[in-house]
Amino acid sequence: MPIDRINWLAVIVGGILYYGWGALWYGVLGQQWLTAIGPMAALVNPKDPVPYVVSFVMALLLSFGVAVALSHDDNRTMRHGIEFGLFFGLLFFATTLLTQTLYEGHPLKLWLINAGYEVIGLVILGALHGAWKKAPKAQAAAA
């Protein structure tokens, strides 16, 4: 794994962006999401900090994962990152979320909300990590 090629600042910024994207997405669609999860909505406690802390840590890990996946290509661009995020989001996240949604008997609206968040979030992370490469050591030392 090319750890030395990871832009750690971009990983942190990506985690913050992904978490912020979630706050925006579910801030707008939160009531529809609560309706779609049905009886499970009664278990949601907005004052419990654990889901928020775990969500932030997972956002950092996802940002790290995208950074690792894209770090293999020194010629990557923002467009490559966007394509990666769209591909990965649709073919890995959206597909598994649809299967889970159907088995759990939830409405497709819940899948649209959750998959939309994941796909767009991965596009954001892909764009960030595609565009923001770690400076080579020779360039970093000269700066």
pLDDT of residue 138: 44
Other CB atoms within a 10 A radius of the CB of residue 57 amount to 12
Average pLDDT over residues 116-143: 83
Q: How is residue 59 written in tokens? A: 């956002």
pLDDT of residue 47: 92
Task: Compute the distance between CA of residue 85 and CA of residue 18 in angstroms, rounded to an integer.
Answer: 12
Q: What is the DSSP string of 24-59?
A: HHHHHHHHHHHHHHGGGGGG--TT-SHHHHHHHHHH
Burial of 118 (0-12, 13-18, 19+ CB in 10 A): buried
Q: pLDDT tens-digit profile of 61-106?
A: 999 999 999 998 888 999 999 999 999 999 999 999 999 999 999 9
pLDDT of residue 33: 96
The residue count for the chain: 143
Q: pLDDT tens-digit profile of 11-45?
A: 999 999 999 999 999 999 999 999 999 988 888 99
pLDDT of residue 137: 66
